[in-house]
Every structure is written in structure tokens, then in C-alpha cells.
Amino acid sequence: MILLKRIIKSGFKNFKRSGLISWAAILVVTITLFVITTIILFQAVLHFSLNQIKDKVDVTIYFNVGASQDQINSLEDSLKQLPEVASVTYTSSDEALALFRERHNADYSTIAALDEINANPLGGYLNIKAKEISQYETIANFLKGDSLSVSGFNSIIDKVDYNQNKLVIDKLNGIIAGAQKLGFLITLLLIIISIIITFNTIRLAIFFSKEEIGVMRLVGASKMRVRGPFMIEGAIYGIVATLITLVLFWPITFWLGRNMTSFLGLNLYSYYLSNLFQIFIIVLLSGIFLGMVSSLLAVRRYLNK
């Protein structure tokens, strides 16, 4: 404990003594953490946008007029048993007619023709949403399977709109997979670049202490006693940079939330506030890791001489 206290005290002394060099290192770590936080928010916008698109994709089963309600309920129950299905929503023929009238309330000729018929020409339908975009084909295959013929469901089904939507679903599936891969590669590249820049800046800060390191080694100080203060100094860089980064993003996300929500689809200010603790932990650990590891690697060079 005494050794640990001395190491921590020496780390704070090094930080104060380095002056402008310490703040230069903090600036670089802040830029790194700024990039990491930007990536977190970008990923949030990407996932939100993809989920919004996913919610608009579905498979609809249209039933014949006068289809048996018992058979419809039986098919609905069978679909809900599928592990790929997230939800099944039934719209009755009366509800379908009401929705049709609402959509075409300005088209007087259509409404007049509907009134002339004096009957409901529309059947009910089931709206099916899958848990993942890639699972719609499995659901479509189930609807085309032999189990439907055996159960007599084919007699009540007018059409299934999967084939009409298949091209859109396949393209969307490809876009989602591509976006996730691209996001991962960009994130990895930016983090690697940031680590290299941070390492070189902290190495410059430690360069001015190389003679002190040499003297400590000459008097028999252990490698841990030499490394420790610089690792603590690196951790201080990370902690201070974390606080600066989070403060900077407060007005940035506020402006984005007020002016860019309609474009991004997500209120970044609300997201930032609601996830502040998680973002703080991620950024803090990243900052401490960057600072300590960069210091550890930088001081190795002088320990091995």
C-alpha cells in the first residue's frame, strides 16, 4: 500500500510538472475520445434508422371474402408459434373496409361505387412481422408448405404479398449487413489511428523524463516503480479527457437534437442524456486504457536501454 501511494503521488507530480506537455497529451486523448463518442452516437443513429426501416417491412396474408373466422384464428395461432415471428396482427373485413374508406375519403367516385355495391367487397388480412429481415423467407416458405393444404388454409387465402416485397426485403437485408460491416471497419480504423496518435504524444511527454528514468534504474528502482507513475499520469490524461469530452458533447447533442432530429430521425440530445451513464463508463474506460497502455509502451523503450 505504501508503494502504491508513492506511485500515485509521483504520477500526480509528473502530471503537474509536465505542464503544457500534459495538456497536449490530454488534448490528443480528448480528440480520441471525441471520435469514440461520435462513433457511439453514429451507431445509435444507424441502428435507429435500420430499425425504423425494419418496422416498415412485413408480410401480409389477404383472405377471401367470407373466409371462416375459425380458420383465420387457427392460422394466426400457427404463425405465432413460429420462432421467427415477432408479431401477428389481424384486421377484420369490417376494419379493412373502414380503413379503405378513410384512405379514399377524397375520391368521391370510389366511395360512390362502394356505396352502390351496398356490400363489403374486402376480406380480412393478417400482418406478420419477423424478428429479423432475413427470416421473412422462412415465414413465406411456411405459408407455401404442405401443412397449409392439409389444414385447409389455402381455401381461405386470396394472396400473400411476400413475392411482391421479396426484392425490397433482399435489398434491405444486404444494405443492413453492408452498413454493419462498414460501421465496424470505420470504427476499427479510427480507433487504431487514434491509438497511434495518442501513443506518440504520450511518448513525447515521457521523452522529457528519460534522464529521470535512467537515474531511477541506476539506484535500483524496480520496473514497476518506474512504470507506475507514468501509468498513473496516463490514467489522469484519460480521466480529464473524459470529462472534457462529455462536457463538449452536451451542447453539441443539444444543437443536433433541436435542429437535426427530423433529418436523423433520432433526438441525439435525449439519447445522450438517457444513456449518459453508459457512455461515461465506455469513454472513461477507453480514456484510462489509452492513457495507461500508451504510457506503458512508451516507457518500455527507456527501461530496456
Q: Which three cell numbers stand for residue 37?
A: 463518442
Selection from 304, 250, 297 nearest residue 37 by Cα: 250
From its phi and psi, is residue 2 left (phi > 0), alpha (psi between -120 and 50) or beta?
A: alpha
Q: Which three cell numbers stand for residue 46?
A: 444507424
Q: What is the pTM of this model?
A: 0.66
Q: List pLDDT tens digits, range 145-170.
A: 655 544 567 778 888 877 556 676 66
- Write out the CATH class of domain 65-155: alpha beta
DSSP structure class, residue 107: -
Q: Is 126 helix (H, G, I), strand (E, B) or coil?
A: strand
**Residues lower than pLDDT 50 in the chain:** 149-150
Rounded distance between C-alpha atoms, residue 53 and residue 117, angstroms: 38
| Alpha helix (H) residue ranges in 133-222 | 136-143, 146-151, 162-207, 210-218
Query: What are the structural domain ranges in the chain?
Result: 2-53+173-303, 65-155
- Those residues with Cβ within 8 angstroms of residue 216's Cβ, 6 or more apart along the chain or in another chain: 225, 226
Q: What average pLDDT does the chain have?
A: 80
Q: How far is CA 191 from CA 197, 204, 294, in A?
A: 10, 20, 13
Q: List pLDDT tens digits, range 228-272.
A: 787 888 888 889 999 999 999 999 999 988 888 877 778 889 999
Q: Which three cell numbers stand for residue 90?
A: 389481424
